[in-house]
Structure 1
Amino acid sequence: MAKLLNLQEWAEETYSKPPSLSTLRRWARQGRIYPAPELHGKEYKVQPDATYVDPSKKNLRPKPKHLKLPTGGTLLERLTHGEKASSLRR
């Protein structure tokens, strides 16, 4: 397991001009740092590879470039092309 850093140490490694400690604590409380910092006594500890998550962005995960369709086609294709009801799962 990696050594946990406090918020100021993490900010110094992550940013060229780190935010203030009060801003970092607010980000931790609001869940803007992923993975979430852990509160150890009065101090937040965070993993070194943690990142800031922008809350205004709804979809945080990258989308796959190519989406694989089911081998039998989509439901709409099966209904449109008249697949028999007996071959469908119940």
Structure 2
Amino acid sequence: MPKLLNLQEWASEVYSTLPSLSTLRRWVREGRIYPAPELHGKEYRLLPDAIYVDIKKKKYQRMTTGQKRTRSTGSLLEKLQHGEKATTLRR
């Protein structure tokens, strides 16, 4: 098992300008670091290969070379532009 790092050690390896400790703790609470850090006593510990995930961006799936990206849902405007029927209309 790899050695677990605390938040400041991890941030010093990942970022050139360090975010504050309160920002790092907020990211942990909001689930923005994957895999999720573990609380050891009063300190969060995480794996060295943990990454920051922006939860506001859409999730993308890895595609193989021959696949096309398909839309499963979209806004009403997108459905109207592409000729799809809208299932519901919210007012």
Moved over 4 A (4+): none
Normalising to structure 2: TM-score of the pair? Answer: 0.68
Give how far 1:62 is off.
3.0
Q: Please name the residue that 2:51 is paired with.
A: 51
TM-score by length of 1: 0.69
Q: Mind listing any 5+ residue stretches in structure 2 that lack a counterpart?
A: 68-91
TM alignment of 1:11-50, pairs within 5 A: 11-50=11-50
Gap regions ≥5 residues in structure 1? 68-90
Q: Which of the pair has more CA radius of gyration?
A: 1
Alignment identity in percent?
Answer: 67
Deviation at 1:60, TM superposition (A): 4.7
Q: Number of residues paired by the alignment?
A: 67
Q: Distance in 2 between matches of 1:33 and 1:63?
A: 24
